[in-house]
Amino acid sequence: MDKTLVIGSTGNLGREVVDGLVAAGAAPRALSRRQGVPDEGAERVPGGVEGVVGDLRDPAMLEAALTGVRSVFLVWPFLTTEHAPAVLDAIGRHARRVVYVSSSGVDRTAGRQTDPIRQLHADMEELIEKSEVEWTVLRADTFASNARGWAAQIRAGDVVRGPDSAATAVIDERDIAAVAVRALTEDGHGGATYVLTGPHVLSRTEQVRAIGDAVGRPLRFEAVPPDVARERMLADGRPPALVDALLAGAEARQASELITTTVEDITGAPARTFARWAADRVDVFR
Ligand SMILES: NC(=O)c1ccc[n+]([C@@H]2O[C@H](COP(=O)([O-])OP(=O)(O)OC[C@H]3O[C@@H](n4cnc5c(N)ncnc54)[C@H](OP(=O)(O)O)[C@@H]3O)[C@@H](O)[C@H]2O)c1
């Protein structure tokens, strides 16, 4: 059977894509930099799924991972496009289709994007469109799973402190994955750029409150100034360039009322609410 290579298969989104492909009867191959991917247990990659070791920064390593692959699910977990042309060349030598996860904040009509993360995605979209493979771009809104970053504070107390950002239509990563599975396995999505959002525009205050409802105690969000947020994020071990990019992205994010019906249009099921995401992930916060 033709394989589907899932890059980022151990991540918040990628593991949902692996699950979705298994459920759809497709044959995923899960890429990770770590040895023994399928042996890391059900929490990361479902048992029985073929795992393969590879690093996007070493495109030559991807040749074996791509053998027999027809479709590729691609995330780009970096701040620059270094290695991307070589990775896309390797994909083009083996696969016919690539599905790339971009950001709903990208505006390709603008000369430059407003922050480094959007710029990265705009640059990646451009490279992918020039490549030989049939492509589909999924421009996703803020992932609900970003709220996992609040878990330690919620387990320890009732206040979540962090940098504020404009409200957006936060999306459940299972809904992005469901669209990705369709685009990877069905015809008719080539050349499409899908903007994917959740069903409600939510501030961080409202997200934290929804997690409180799920765990059964009142929680509140307290915005901290960017310099305080920066120090905390660095103390958590995040690389300085990533911290700066995340803070720039949070600051540049404009309030957006954008809600699309694309998840439902493509999958037939409405996008899940953040309240549902929190209820299904309650163990993360207890
Ligand atoms: N979070 C958001 O709000 C948002 C919004 C729009 C778009 N996105 C995009 O969605 C992507 C996926 O998000 P996520 O939350 O699922 O990410 P995540 O949980 O941080 O997972 C990152 C994945 O990338 C893999 N990875 C990292 N470095 C790699 C390398 N050098 N070579 C191969 N694989 C590597 C990791 O695999 P191993 O560690 O197992 O190697 C892991 O599976 C992000 O990278 C971002 O570009 C995110």
Instruction: Tell me the average confidence (pLDDT) per consecutive run of 10 residues in the chain, 286 residues long.
Output: 92 96 95 71 63 94 95 97 97 97 94 92 98 96 96 96 93 98 98 98 97 98 93 89 89 87 98 98 96
52 close to 37: Cβ distance less than 8 angstroms: yes
Q: What is the pLDDT of residue 38?
A: 56
180 C-alpha vs ligand 1 centroid, how far in Å? 15
Q: Are 174 and 16 in contact (CB under 8 A)?
A: yes
In the chain, the domains with their CATH numbers are 3-146+171-197+257-272 (3.40.50.720)
Going from the Cα of 17 to the center of ligand 1, the distance in angstroms, rounded, reads 12
Contact 169, 227 (CB under 8 A): no
* Residue 41 Ramachandran class (φ > 0 left, ψ -120 to 50 alpha, else beta): left
Please, where are the H alpha helices in the chain? 14-23, 62-66, 84-94, 116-130, 151-156, 173-185, 204-215, 226-235, 240-252, 262-267, 274-280
Q: Which atom of ligand 1 is nearest to the CA of 120?
A: 47
pLDDT of residue 274: 98
Give the pLDDT confidence score for residue 44 in this predicted structure: 52
Asked if residue 73 has its Cβ within 6 Å of ligand 1, the reply is no
CB of 8 sitting under 6 A from ligand 1: yes
For ligand 1, pick from 5, 6, 43, 75 the residue to mutate: most ligand atoms within 8 Å of CB: 75
CA of 216 to the centre of ligand 1 (A): 31
Any atom of ligand 1 within 6 Å of the Cβ of 116: no
Does ligand 1 have an atom closer than 6 angstroms to the CB of 142? yes
Q: What is the pLDDT of residue 42?
A: 41
Q: Which residues contact 235 (CB under 8 A, 6 or more apart)?
A: none
Give this prediction's pTM: 0.95
- The first and second tokens of residue 208, run together, are 């934290």
d(CA 100, CA 81): 14
Mutate to test the pocket of ligand 1, among 143, 204, 236, 253 (most ligand atoms within 8 A of CB): 143
Q: What is the pLDDT of residue 223?
A: 95
State the residue for tokens 């083009």: 92
Residue with tokens 């780009």: 76
Ligand 1 atom closest to the CA of 103, numbered from 1: 6
Instruction: For the chain, state the CA radius of gyration.
Output: 19
Q: Is the CB of 56 under 6 A from ligand 1?
A: yes
Ligand 1 center to residue 217 CA distance, Å? 31
Q: Are 176 and 101 in contact (CB under 8 A)?
A: yes
Q: Exposure string (b/e) for 244-270, b if CB count within 10 Å is 16 or more? A: bbbbbbbebbeebeebbebbeebbeee
